[in-house]
Structure 1
Amino acid sequence: MKAAVLDTDDRFRLTERDRPVPGPGEVAIAVTHAGIQWGDVLVRRGHFPVPRPFVPGFEAAGRVVGVGPGADESLLGRSVTALTGGGAFAEVVTASAALTFDAEGLDPRTAAGFGWATPTAYDLIHTVTRVRPGERVLIHAAAGAVGTMAAQFARAAGAGRIVGVVGDTERAAYAARFGYDRLITRAEFADIADGRAEQEEFDVVLDPVGGPTRLAGLRQLAPHGRLAMYGTLGGPAPAALDSDELLMSGRSALSYNSDLLSRTHPERLADSARHALRAVAEGTVRPDVTVEYELADLDEALGRLAEGRTLGKSILRIAPHLR
């Protein structure tokens, strides 16, 4: 089978590899499309200790063509979307049956765009911060895959006001399609954080940035507000939290790590993913697939993502004849 292999020189090469065989609790999926995400960029940069050569790709959509011991045999032949530990940038990938979800009737592009971002956004809104009707929500990286999905889930949960922070005005125009009441740039947010502009209070803040942004978010929380930390896009910059101050104001700093959850409590992630997938199927929320690349164009796809030149969700077309 063909696969995009990341080698020791940080380059991708299309290579013929043996077709993987599903182990206990696994399924084999003939991949039609694969989602591209920030984790693929981090793998290439060496942030994760994966052995090289390595086939990246953590989001697969396709059809189940093999079932390992102990896996649900009723999945055989079904169209699915799966969260994988790698290997989705290939014609066949193995995935945990627990994190493989029935996607019959769903367009395969949408199934690939579902990825990790959609259940992450669902969990941030519904199981971490538990947004209530009428609450005010601030979302950083508002034009990203998680941000655009979180805005939709927050709106469906009855949030009264949703504000997003984006890198520039182009991203603000894009993010405006997903239910935000207001969008501000990072420069405008910095003015607010530094006291040069009026500060608004929020009941919930979603922060994948970290550092000074995290501290500013805590200051913007209303009494009993919740800040969810789920990334460090701004790079390593520890932020010291005053636990006594949080206690006296009733504010909370919460963390969420979907990769860790997939390894420690996969059943919890699977439950959230099924709820999120149902919302996608019903049209309550939608992943926005804007670019579809060929497997041979993976270098370009990841380069554009790393440089911030991508809006919406990018996917790879792996084997369209398997649709």
Structure 2
Amino acid sequence: MKAVVLDTDDHYRVTELDEPTPGPGQVAIRVAYAGIQWGDTMVRDGHFPVQRPFVPGFEAVGHIAAVGEGVDAHRVGEPVTALTTAGAYAEVALAPAVLTSGIGDLPLRTAAGLGWGAPTAYDLVDTAAQVRPGDSVLIHAAAGSVGTLAVQFARLAGAGRIVGVVGNGRRADYAAQFGYDQLLLREEFPTRLGDERFDVILDPVGGSTRRTGLERLAEHGRLVAYGNLGTDEPVLADTNDLLMHGTSLVTYNSNLLGRTHPERLADSVRRALGLVTDGRVRVDITAEYDLADLGVAVQRLAEGTTVGKSVLRVA
């Protein structure tokens, strides 16, 4: 089979490999599309230690070709979306059966827009932040795949005012189509907000952005930290100050959840998938690449020139 390998020199190469065989609790997927996501930049840049050469790719969409021990054989042929620990950038990929969800009649390409971003956005809004009717919400990285889904989930949860923060004007123009009430450029945050405070802040940035966010929480507000796009610099919070104002600093780690409680993550995948299938939430695939162009796609994501969701066409 054809597969993309990340080699020891940090370059991606298309090569021929043997097709993998599913083990207990796994399925083998004949991949049509694979989602490109921030984890790809982390692996490429060495932030996640993996032995190379390595077949990356954490989101696979296609049809189940074979199942391992303990998996219902009737699933063979089922169109699915799957969350993987590696290997999605190949013609055949292995995935845990529990994190492989049937997509019904949803087009494969559309399903490729969900990946890890959809359950992450759903959990940020519904589980971690518990957005309530009338809540004011601030979303950083508002033009990315998580941000553009989170704003839609927040609106469905009854959020009142939703503000997004983006890196530049082009990203603001793109994000505007998803229903934000206001969009700010990163350099305008927080000055342009005046004294406004928020019930919920979704923060994948970290550093000074996170410290400012904690100061911008309304009474009983919740800041959910789910990444460190800007810096790994530690952010210290005064628990006595949080207690005095009833505010909370919550963290969310979808990768950890997939390893410790995969059934919870799978439930969020199904819930997000249902909202996309019935048209209440829209995924937006803005770029599609061939296997040989994966390096270009990951670099564009790392540089911040990507908006929405990018996918790799495998077959």
The answer to whether the superposition gives a TM-score over 0.5 is yes
**Offset, 1:104:** 2.1
In structure 2, give the amino acid aligned to 1:211.
Answer: G
Q: What is the correspondence of 1:206-221 to structure 2 with a 5 Å cutoff?
A: 206-221=202-217
Counterparts of 1:2 and 1:159 in 2: how far apart (Å)?
A: 45
Which residue is 2:95 aligned to? 95
Counterparts of 1:199 and 1:18 in 2: how far apart (Å)?
A: 59
Which residue is 2:36 aligned to? 36
Query: Secondary structure of 1:159's partner?
Result: coil
Which residue is 1:66 aligned to? 66
Residue 22 of structure 2 is aligned to residue 22 of structure 1: yes
Query: Secondary structure of 1:113's partner?
Result: coil
**Offset, 1:73:** 2.3
Task: Quote the RMSD (CA, aligned, Å).
Answer: 0.9
Which residue is 1:279 aligned to? 275
Count residues with an aligned counterpart.
Answer: 315
Give the unaligned 5+ runs of structure 1.
none
Residue 181 of structure 2 is aligned to residue 185 of structure 1: no
- The 8 Å contact of residues 165 and 184 in structure 1, kept in 2 or not, is answered as yes
User: Residue deviations 1:246-284, cap 9 Å, x none?
Assistant: 001000000000000000011111111111110110111
**Offset, 1:190:** 4.6
Which residue is 2:120 aligned to? 120
Which residue is 1:81 aligned to? 81
Q: What is the correspondence of 1:126-165 to structure 2 with a 5 Å cutoff?
A: 126-165=126-165
Task: Point out 4+ residue stretches in structure 1 off by more than 6 angstroms.
Answer: none
User: Residue deviations 1:190-211, cap 9 Å, x none?
Assistant: 535xxxx612111000000111
Counterparts of 1:206 and 1:313 in 2: how far apart (Å)?
A: 19
Counterparts of 1:261 and 1:19 in 2: how far apart (Å)?
A: 28
Counterparts of 1:190 and 1:252 in 2: how far apart (Å)?
A: 19
Residue 302 of structure 2 is aligned to residue 306 of structure 1: yes
In structure 2, give the amino acid aligned to 1:83.
Answer: L
Counterparts of 2:103 and 2:72 in 1: how far apart (Å)?
A: 15
Which residue is 1:110 aligned to? 110
TM-score, length-normalised on structure 1? 0.96
In structure 2, give the amino acid aligned to 1:58.
Answer: F
Counterparts of 2:191 and 2:46 in 1: how far apart (Å)?
A: 34
**Offset, 1:82:** 0.3
* Higher deviation after alignment, 281-290 or 245-254: 281-290
User: Residue deviations 1:157-214, cap 9 Å, x none?
Assistant: 110010000001111110001110000001100535xxxx612111000000111111
Give the unaligned 5+ runs of structure 2.
none
- The 8 Å contact of residues 4 and 90 in structure 1, kept in 2 or not, is answered as yes
Residue 240 of structure 2 is aligned to residue 252 of structure 1: no
- The 8 Å contact of residues 205 and 217 in structure 1, kept in 2 or not, is answered as yes
TM-score, length-normalised on structure 2? 0.98
In structure 2, give the amino acid aligned to 1:210.
Answer: G
In structure 2, give the amino acid aligned to 1:131.
Answer: V
Counterparts of 1:156 and 1:132 in 2: how far apart (Å)?
A: 10
* Percentage of identical aligned residues: 63
Which residue is 1:201 aligned to? 197
